[in-house]
Chains A and B, each alone.
Chain A
Amino acid sequence: MIAKLLSILKKGWTVLRKPSVHYSLGFLTLGGFVAGVIFWGGFNTALEVTNQEAFCIGCHEMENNVYEELKTTIHFTNRSGVRATCPDCHVPHNWTDKIARKMQASKEVWGKIFGTINTRDKFEAKRRELAEHEWARLKANDSLECRNCHNFDYMDFTRQSSRAAKMHSTSLASGEKTCIDCHKGIAHHLPDMKGVSGF
């Protein structure tokens, strides 16, 4: 048993020592490493590119519907001049979450190819379903994307309207509710809300 293992190890060692037909194994390893770096970097760059608003609204499905609606909201223009772009609310900042979202997003490419929402009517017909995915995501991560900009710990209730302060100091503070429970439709028009809790 041990002898067998040893012979395997020996065999392996000879393979490693033996130069490959054209390049040394050392070169191959180093090359592999460099290629890996380039691939990794490229992958990350690709992630960065797909993380920009210009990329999102490259598709008319996104530009003609949700982007046009976003333009009239407080997240597009406001007194402070801070803009929320699509990835701010839709793509997690955390790297692993990012990959997971990107995997989900391949569904969008599928949708693009098959034209699932390529007209306004089709978009409106599918909007409730799409919105529900987003609500579920934000509910599950406790509105992580909102909190990337709006930090509860730094909210000054005395500077909020009394309606806002009352809600934020009770249901939100206790963790019973999260941003998306009360702030649906903050960036786009809402679909038919029949049966959605809170409406």
Chain B
Amino acid sequence: MKTVKLVSIAALMSCSFAIFTGSAVAADAVSDVKIATLREAPLNVEPTPPAMQKVSNTDVKQSRNYPMQPPVIPHKIDGYQVDLKVNKCMACHDRKQTTDSQAPMVSVTHYMDRENNFLATLSPRRYFCTQCHVPQLEAKLLVENDFVDMDHLIEADSNKKAKH
């Protein structure tokens, strides 16, 4: 009886040992395989986070990459409160504030509801500015961006036509 118990304990222990080593092998295997991910460490390892990047604060407007792109914010917005009580962005970008602030006024579409009726104030669906507009970091690109601008496509297309 005693030996049976001992044997079963030993079996259990070796079993759990196998599970441990097995999982370790599996984790290694993940990091070896090149899959499309920005994660540079196995799932069960906490990697050192990259250095924090500075927010670009040049106040110089950047061009839009496509006609309907929400323009990016060319300045810091640290501590700007946007909630039910206040919208700090509108303290400069509201129609009535632009004389003082010389900031661009938000597009008239922001005052339209989904039926295209014009409202007196911001449409609720446009209220939370950072849903669409974001500041930029002075950071190196993590992945290459091969986006081709519409104008370039049109240009390439007309060049092709000209050749024929």
- Residue positions of A touching B, CB distance < 8 A: 72-74, 161-163, 166, 171, 185-186, 189-193, 198-199
Contact = CB atoms under 8 A, between A and B. Distances in A.
Contact of A74 (B58, B79, B90, B91): B79
Given A161-B59, A192-B86, A193-B86, 9 more contacts: A73-B79, A161-B57, A163-B59, A185-B86, A185-B88, A189-B85, A192-B85, A198-B91, A199-B91
A193 B100 CA distance: 18
Contacts of B90: 199
B81 A185 contact: yes
B98 to A, nearest CB: 13
Interface of B: 57-59, 75-76, 78-79, 81, 84-86, 88, 90-91, 97, 100, 102
B79 A161 contact: no
Contacts of A192: 84-86
Contacts of B102: 166
A161 B86 contact: no
Contacts of A166: 102
A170 to B, nearest CB: 10
Contact of B59 (A73, A162, A189): A162
A191 B86 CA distance: 7
Contact of B78 (A74, A163, A193): A74
A190 B59 contact: no
Nearest to B92: A163
Most chain A CB inside 10 Å of its own CB: which residue of B57, B86, B91, B102: B86
Contact of A190 (B76, B78, B86): B86
B14 to A, nearest CB: 53
Nearest to A124: B85
A161 B75 contact: yes
A18 to B, nearest CB: 71
Nearest to B57: A161
A44 to B, nearest CB: 36
A171 B102 CA distance: 13
28 contacts: A74-B78, A74-B79, A161-B57, A161-B59, A161-B76, A162-B58, A163-B59, A163-B75, A166-B102, A171-B100, A185-B79, A185-B81, A185-B88, A189-B81, A189-B85, A190-B81, A190-B85, A190-B86, A191-B85, A192-B84, A192-B85, A192-B86, A193-B85, A193-B86, A198-B97, A199-B86, A199-B90, A199-B91
